[in-house]
């Protein structure tokens, strides 16, 4: 019997999740059907219950429902608890289990696909939204020398760092506090690139960096990546690998088998030009 899964969001027509999970299912001979579901802005819970009650086994969750999915869950795994949001649900009877694979997907892309280990590195995360919050636990587990969160509103970054301070060496600051600072790995998790804008970060942060990473994907050489390129950073990447790797983690959680992410990443990659 074919098992049903879906991604829920609003809007959702742009989602690559059906393509990714269909490719995973073909690779691993899993009998699943995966669809995109546009959830009503005022009826998220009802849409989830209806999908589950019709036989659905699990769902990916994207904007703007990650916080609502967290609240809806009956059981939250540690990554979801610490992130305060979830991007994956699994249905077991009346239980709704929640996890967050955004951070582990990002770490897997950095270390497995790009070959950049985080241990002992100075790492800069730009932004303090849900993507950053979801990344902190997996990042700190890799024991970087220091993890710095920099945000337009410094107070939000420092509060976020304080919440995770027992997990490793982490600090928060404003974007204006980065002058003269240097990092090994710099990641942009702000929304600036969605509007083709450059986050207010000095080029000096890239001095000696081995990687600049843009969490959005499919936008080519964004202003952030162009700044890094001009500063001499040797390795540039966007978030397509993160997207596929977090999907793979959800697939393993649901199906118990790990797909090969490489061919799917290659198929979806847009050249950085």
Cross-strand bridge partners of residue 187 = 125, 213
Identify the helix (H) or strand (E) that includes residue 38: strand 32-38
Q: Which residue has the tokens 């107070």?
A: 155
Strands 32-38 and 122-126: unpaired
CB-CB contact of 59 with 87 (8 Å): no
Question: Catalytic: which of 66, 156, 195, 219?
Answer: 66
d(CA 53, CA 47): 10
Show the domains of the chain with their CATH numbers: 3-100+241-268 (3.40.50.10860), 103-237 (3.40.50.720)
Cross-strand bridge partners of residue 169 = none
**Residue 20: which of 88, 86, 76, 81 has the closest Cα?**
88
Q: What is the pLDDT along the chain (273 residues), one digit of tens a residue?
A: 899 999 999 999 989 999 999 999 999 999 999 999 999 999 999 999 999 999 999 999 998 999 899 999 999 999 899 888 899 999 999 999 999 999 999 999 999 999 999 999 999 999 998 889 889 999 999 999 999 999 999 999 999 999 999 999 999 999 999 999 999 999 999 988 888 899 999 999 999 999 999 999 989 999 999 999 999 999 999 999 999 999 999 999 999 999 999 999 999 998 988
Q: In what order do the strands lie in the sheet with 236-237?
A: 170-174, 146-151, 122-126, 185-188, 211-214, 236-237
User: Does the annotation mark 66 as catalytic?
Assistant: yes
């Amino acid at each position: 019997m074919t098992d049903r899964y879906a991604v829920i969001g609003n809007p959702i027509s742009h989602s690559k999740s059906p393509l990714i999970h269909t490719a995973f299912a073909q690779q691993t001979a899993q009998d699943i059907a995966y669809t995109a579901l546009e959830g009503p802005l005022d009826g998220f819970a009802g849409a989830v219950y209806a999908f589950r009650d019709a036989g659905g086994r699990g769902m990916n969750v994207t904007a703007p429902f990650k916080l609502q999915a967290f609240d809806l869950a009956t059981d939250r795994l540690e990554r979801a608890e610490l992130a305060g949001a979830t991007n994956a649900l699994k249905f077991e009877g009346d239980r709704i289990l929640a996890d967050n694979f955004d951070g582990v997907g990002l770490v897997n892309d950095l270390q497995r696909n790009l070959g950049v280990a985080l241990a002992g590195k100075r790492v800069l995360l730009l932004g303090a939204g849900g993507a950053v919050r979801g990344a902190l636990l997996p990042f700190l587990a890799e024991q970087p020398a220091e993890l710095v969160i920099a945000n337009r509103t410094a107070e939000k970054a420092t509060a976020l760092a304080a919440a995770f301070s027992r997990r490793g060496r982490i600090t928060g600051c404003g974007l204006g506090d980065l002058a003269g600072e240097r990092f090994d790995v710099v990641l942009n998790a702000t929304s600036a690139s969605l509007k083709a804008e450059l986050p207010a970060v000095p080029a000096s942060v890239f001095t000696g960096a081995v990687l600049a990473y843009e969490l959005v994907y499919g936008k080519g050489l964004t202003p952030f990546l162009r700044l890094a390129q001009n500063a001499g950073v040797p390795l540039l990447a966007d978030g397509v690998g993160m997207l596929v790797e977090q999907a793979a983690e959800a697939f393993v959680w649901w199906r118990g088998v790990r797909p090969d992410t490489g061919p799917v990443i290659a198929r979806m990659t847009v050249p950085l030009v």
